[in-house]
Amino acid sequence: MARSASAPLAAHALFHTHDLDEARERVAAIFCPHRLDRIGPGAFDASHHHMRGERLSLNYISYGTKTLIAPGELRDFYLLQMPLSGAASIRNGSDSYVSDQRRAAVLNPHHATTMIWDEECRQVLLQIDRAALNTHLAGLIAGRPDRPLTFTGALDLGTAQGAALKALVLYLVAEADAGRSALRPGSLLGRQIESTLMTGLLEAHRHNFTDALSHSRGHAPLPRMVRQAEDFMRAHADQPLAIEDVAQAVGVSARTLQLAFRRFCDTTPMAFLRDVRLDRADADLRAAMPGESVTEIATRWSFGHFGRFAGMYRARFGCTPRQTLQDALADKFVS
């Protein structure tokens, strides 16, 4: 019993037993019915500690010997497993990998699972309600998921996001062990922490909505005025333009347009126009024919000061416009 008392979440112990059938039944009451077999030579010495939140739970489980665990489909919850020691071989659907202190496992509830925990395997597990995680995902991608959320492979705990998620989970375990548990059903703070854990998991691990999540987070739809201004500047990049011309074209004041570009694009309209012109000049330099000059191409795209153009070009492309032109002409000559 001393071993269980010194383990994580000890104040939330559900059981400590040497009886395989008892362990199977007690774990199933929290998770789901499953096959549990001892396949190693050591003594079976099982512990399960469980701290319930509103939409998820924190758990600690160890079996003391090599163990086969086959729950099939979890159905109602996702399960993040983080070994504190030892390792586990995981098969979840078509995914097969080893989970250890550097790589966590995330079990998809709609795929059948089979695991082998080695004799040293002690794990902290985060059980997340399937419906709650899908609802949370829908809020992040601004749309209801059209297919089951499916995580792929092991979760790398060495990345910035993986390390942050692990640190948060272990911090919550440590706080619970110190008698300061924040994961209490009905607690506003607990609910916020649960949301943070779900966001952390969705950011840390690859899944079939990763691209949609990145797009939603980093590429929010631009206001109509900004889109119209960008289109106008692209269409008239070879003409003299002031910000007032662009603002008038989209029907707003110059200041309003400035503020919108700062807020949504982290740039200014004129900086956007400059970059469009630099890209056009670069394309022309690379497509130049014998007899064309840098000055001619710069002037075509409204760069009246050659020295300033050369400096901006170098800052954007890492070489001088003259080098780009010479390389392009040399390639044509060789060809």
Domains identified in the chain and CATH numbers:
2-218 (2.60.120.10), 224-334 (1.10.10.60)
Q: In the predicted model, is pLDDT for residue 102 greater than 50?
A: yes
pTM: 0.65
CA 155 – CA 202 distance, rounded (Å)? 11
- Asked if residue 257 lies in contact with residue 243, where contact means CB atoms within 8 angstroms, the answer is yes
At 82 the three-state DSSP class reads strand
Q: Model confidence at 221, in pLDDT bands (50, 70, 90)?
A: low
Q: In the predicted model, is pLDDT for residue 1 greater than 80?
A: no
pLDDT at 196: 94
Beta strands in the chain (DSSP E): 13-17, 35-38, 46-52, 56-62, 67-72, 77-85, 88-92, 95-99, 103-107, 113-117, 122-129, 155-156
Around Cβ 202, how many Cβ atoms within 10 Å?
Answer: 21
**CA separation, residue 79 to residues 95, 151, 323 (Å):** 15, 11, 56
- The fraction of the chain above a pLDDT of 90, given in percent, is 72
Q: In the predicted model, is pLDDT for residue 168 greater than 70?
A: yes
pLDDT at 330: 81
Mean pLDDT across 194-214: 91
CA 27 – CA 24 distance, rounded (Å)? 5
Q: Is 186 left (phi over 0), alpha (psi -120 to 50) or beta?
A: left
What's the burial of 235, exposed, middle or buried (CB within 10 Å: 0-12/13-18/19+)?
A: exposed
* Strands 122-129 and 67-72, sheet pairing: unpaired
CA 253 – CA 266 distance, rounded (Å)? 18
Question: Residues 34, 39, 42, CA angle at the centre, nearest 5°?
Answer: 120
pLDDT at 4: 52
